[in-house]
């Protein structure tokens, strides 16, 4: 179902009025983790003012260490819904376990994180609902494997899948992951599904986010996901790669310039 061969036209997904794919470019921005009401509402207002189309924020966090902040869970989703009410931005948040699916009723896009790309029971459960799914590439998975995971969701009847390149593990330690930007044209050839890039997780370094966000747009992606925090040095997670609202505003201005040239 994901194969371009059997479905030549680009799929355009409507997220609460925001279109993505087939020439519709979206910017998804927000903190790595939802931390409290003031933080998420403040960041939501700032990214909206800068021109973001959707708000992201993690409530259930897949952390490498069990001692690291695990997210506000159900309360985090409530706070995202609050920020959505204030700004009107559709919200994107990660799910780690299908047992909690009921909590995502009013979430606009459900994210499957890199670590769960091949959690097949989760993918099957998401195939049975009617809601856009943002599927991130696994840390060490091929594009074929990413598409097979999309297929798990689509096989159940939910064909609203957005793919995300977020960097893969290589031997290069200069960046958190290695941003495989050629995944964008490669996936566009292989599939009709929208493809976005995440330069924040791909690089892990704030100073690399702007150049790689611009490169993502130049490569023809259907959108970018960027982490933004009101006070990155105090962020509960991923502060080193989070932009300040002012830095995000600057990226948005340059993104518009790059997009007008592709
Ligand atoms: C995230 O988006 O906060 C996240 C955990 O990303 P990834 O699954 O790509 O590591
Ligand atoms: Mn993060």
pLDDT value of position 82: 98
- Using CA atoms, how far apart are residues 159 and 141, in angstroms rounded to an integer? 21
pLDDT, position 262: 84
Residue nearest to atom 6 of ligand 1 (CA): 113
Give residue 237 CA to ligand 1 midpoint distance, Å. 11
Give the separation between CA 4 and CA 139, rounded to whole angstroms: 24
Average pLDDT along the chain, 262 residues, taken 10 residues at a time = 97 97 97 98 98 98 97 98 98 98 98 98 98 98 98 98 98 98 98 98 98 98 98 98 98 96 86
ipTM entry: 0.98
Of ligand 1's listed atoms, the one at least distance from the Cα of 164 is 9
What pTM was computed for the model? 0.98
| Protein residue with least CA distance to atom 9, ligand 1 | 114
Residues 219, 185: contact at Cβ < 8 Å? yes
114 lines ligand 1 (CB under 6 A): yes
**CATH architecture group of domain 4-259:** Alpha-Beta Barrel (3.20)
Q: 189-222: per-residue pLDDT in tens?
A: 999 999 999 999 999 999 999 999 999 999 999 9
Is the CB–ligand 1 distance for residue 113 below 6 Å?
yes
Which pLDDT score, from 0 to 100, does residue 107 have?
98
- What does the domain layout of the chain look like in residue ranges? 4-259
């Amino acid at each position: 179902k994901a194969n371009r061969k059997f479905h030549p036209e680009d799929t355009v997904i409507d997220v609460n009025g925001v279109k993505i794919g087939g020439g519709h470019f979206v910017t998804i921005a927000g903190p790595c983790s939802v931390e409290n009401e003031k933080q998420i509402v403040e960041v939501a207002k700032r990214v909206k003012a800068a021109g973001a189309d959707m708000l992201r924020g993690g409530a259930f966090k897949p952390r490498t260490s069990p001692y690291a902040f695990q997210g506000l869970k159900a309360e985090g989703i409530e706070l995202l819904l609050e920020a959505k009410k204030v700004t009107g931005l559709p919200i994107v948040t990660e799910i780690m376990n299908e047992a909690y699916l009921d909590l995502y009723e009013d979430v606009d896009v459900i994210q499957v994180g890199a670590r769960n790309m091949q959690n097949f029971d989760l993918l099957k459960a998401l195939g049975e609902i009617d809601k856009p799914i943002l599927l991130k590439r696994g840390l060490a998975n091929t594009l074929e494997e990413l598409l097979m995971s999309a297929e798990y969701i689509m096989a159940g009847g939910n064909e609203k899948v957005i793919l995300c390149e977020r960097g893969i593990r290589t031997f290069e330690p200069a960046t958190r992951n290695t941003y495989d930007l050629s995944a964008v044209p490669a996936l566009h050839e292989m599939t009709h599904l929208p493809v976005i890039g995440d330069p924040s997780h791909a690089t892990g370094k704030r100073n690399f986010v702007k150049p790689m966000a611009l490169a993502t747009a130049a490569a023809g992606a259907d959108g970018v996901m960027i982490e933004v925090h009101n006070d990155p040095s105090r962020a509960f997670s991923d502060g080193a790669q989070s932009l300040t609202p002012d830095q995000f505003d600057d990226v948005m201005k340059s993104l518009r310039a790059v997009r007008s040239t592709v």
